[in-house]
Amino acid sequence: MTKGEDTRHAIVEEALELVSTVGLEKLTIGSLAAATGMSKSGLFAHFKSKEQLQLQVLEEARRRYIDMVATPSFKEPRGVARLRSIVERTLNQWEEDLPGGCIFYAVSAELDDQPGPARDYLVEIQREQQKMLARSTQMAIDEGEFRADLDVDQFVFELGAITAAYHHFGRLVGDPKARKNARQMFEGMLARAQAKE
């Protein structure tokens, strides 16, 4: 990386930390300048608009999710071991990576009714994650670990419900049992999905 690329990357990482707690809308060149100690004009040289900055933040979050959750999980054997790795890494490393927890949940309520490039990109990221989970679930069926008639779409929906509930109860409500409850919910899903011997 060049010095300019290094600086840009450092700015985006700082912006990601901010967004996880204050949201995309409150992320401005001014607030980021204050957080990084840079001038507004210096930041503007790297990001020509607030929209471009928001997209860079979401892109960095996507990259981190792939590095932290998807890539290591896909080194696990096909099937339940891989799904378990995705869920555990999401509940542990991913949810704990940023001060506000999962960046995608942190900004989803903010963007769900706001058309534009940031919302479109967030939807693309979420659909990408759904496809990854569907592929992993289908592999568990193909490996004979899950029953052949399992509704893959329903299973993926329920996986999403686990992480959404964990984020809500763990972050907003502050329930100390949120992680334990999320794991129990996942184990219940696995038990119901298992192929009968």
Q: What domains lie within the chain, and their CATH numbers?
A: 51-193 (1.10.357.10)
Mutual orientation of helices 50-65 and 3-22 as an angle, nearest 10°?
90
Separation of alpha carbons 143 and 195, rounded Å: 10
Residues contacting 31, CB < 8 A, separation 6+: 18, 22
What single letter denotes the amino acid at residue 39?
S
pLDDT higher than 70, residue 4: no
pLDDT higher than 80, residue 183: yes
pLDDT higher than 70, residue 53: yes
**Eight-class DSSP state of 116:** S
**Would you say 51 and 95 are in contact if contact means Cβ atoms under 8 Å apart?**
no
Tokens 């990854």 sit at which residue?
Answer: 132
Mean of pLDDT values over 170-179: 93
Beta bridge partners of 194: 146
Separation of alpha carbons 19 and 91, rounded Å: 19
**Structure confidence at residue 178 as a pLDDT band (50, 70, 90):** very high
